[in-house]
Copies of this chain bind each other. A is one copy, B any other.
């Protein structure tokens, strides 16, 4: 694997593991002894079709992106994970019913723990608090994916692009986004040409300005308006 081990403070693990205080002491002990700490540079693929079910990833710092990819290389972002988030789908083998593959990539330099899938599976079969937490975690991810699906199915691309630009500026707390047209196309599951055309339209409208690899938001209200009244069906 292309990420390296690192030394971590286990008390950080306790603080970041959701509902740690509700777990039984023996479950806590096993999680402590089995979790390993790692770090990976931005752009590292933690999980792919070839390297699947690496274990449960608990993010310490940084940002992970979970996405699907078609045989032709078309991508769509399902959700992102931040400090304290757990990636259930990187341990999809713990649940026999999960039969799809996702790709997990670091979007920023990241530190994270990995809990082996077999360990987690064994503990989940013994611990009601862990089972309950896993249930909630899965329904939250299910909800995220359903949201993406509704966007894809029922919203026009200019609406989705405007929403994406607003979300990104909120997340980065910066009106200047360093992102290529191709990267946006991957996030939204479309072709680069479609994004380029729509961005040019938004520039002509004075909502944004474009320069090499950079998009600057000039008028948020125009983007917000676009979300409510899309150009096309």
A153 proximal to B (CB < 8 A): yes
Residues from chain B with Cβ under 8 Å of A98 in the complex: 139, 142-143
Pick the contact of A139: B138, B146, B154 (CB < 8 A).
Answer: B138
Say how many copies of this protein the assembly contains.
2
Residues from chain B with Cβ under 8 Å of A152 in the complex: 149, 152-153
Pick the contact of A135: B138, B140, B145 (CB < 8 A).
Answer: B138
A68 proximal to B (CB < 8 A): yes
Pick the contact of A149: B135, B138, B140, B145 (CB < 8 A).
Answer: B145
Instruction: Report Cα–Cα, A143/B92, bound state, in Å.
Output: 10
Q: In chain B, what residue has the closest Cβ to A148? A: B149
Closest beta carbon of chain B to A186's beta carbon, Å: 12
| Given A97-B137, A138-B139, A148-B149, 16 additional A-B pairs, CB 8 A | A68-B149, A68-B153, A95-B135, A96-B136, A97-B140, A97-B143, A98-B139, A99-B143, A125-B128, A126-B128, A128-B128, A131-B132, A134-B135, A145-B145, A152-B152, A152-B153
